[in-house]
Amino acid sequence: MLDERTRMDFVILAGNKISYRHTLVTLQEGQLDKQLFVKTVKPMLAKRFCTNAKTIPTIKEGYAFEYIYYDKDGNYVDTITVVKADCVVGGDYEYTGKLP
């Protein structure tokens, strides 16, 4: 468990994409506003990857970090992807503030 609400199920590296599958263990279909979820979670994920010295080299190489979310019953919720364009501001790596 990553926290009391989120379980990491598995991670896959395929080509230039690192995909993380997560289950939101306390939520069922219809209990989540998907737009609000993405609007809230993407900035947190992007800031984490765009400012972390360990992940910046991976972003610079063109890798994407993809988070795929499912509810507790296995229903697809949404996918959030962080790419280089989310990070580069004036040549520096920081979160651009862009949302999908």
- The string of pLDDT tens digits covering residues 9-61 is 999 999 999 999 999 999 998 899 999 999 999 989 999 999 899 999 999 99
Of 67, 66, 64, 55, nearest in space to 84 by CA? 64
What values do phi and psi take at 17, rounded to 5? -130, 130
Domain for residue 99, yes or no?
A: no
Domain for residue 23, yes or no?
A: yes
Domain for residue 76, yes or no?
A: yes
- The per-residue pLDDT for range 66-81, each reduced to its tens digit, is 999 999 999 999 999 9
Total of domains in the chain: 1
Structural domain boundaries enclosing 48? 6-93
Domain for residue 98, yes or no?
A: no
Q: For residue 90, what pLDDT is reported?
A: 67
Domain for residue 1, yes or no?
A: no
Q: For residue 5, what pLDDT is reported?
A: 94
Domain for residue 100, yes or no?
A: no
Q: For residue 100, what pLDDT is reported?
A: 53
CATH code of the domain containing 33: 3.30.300.250
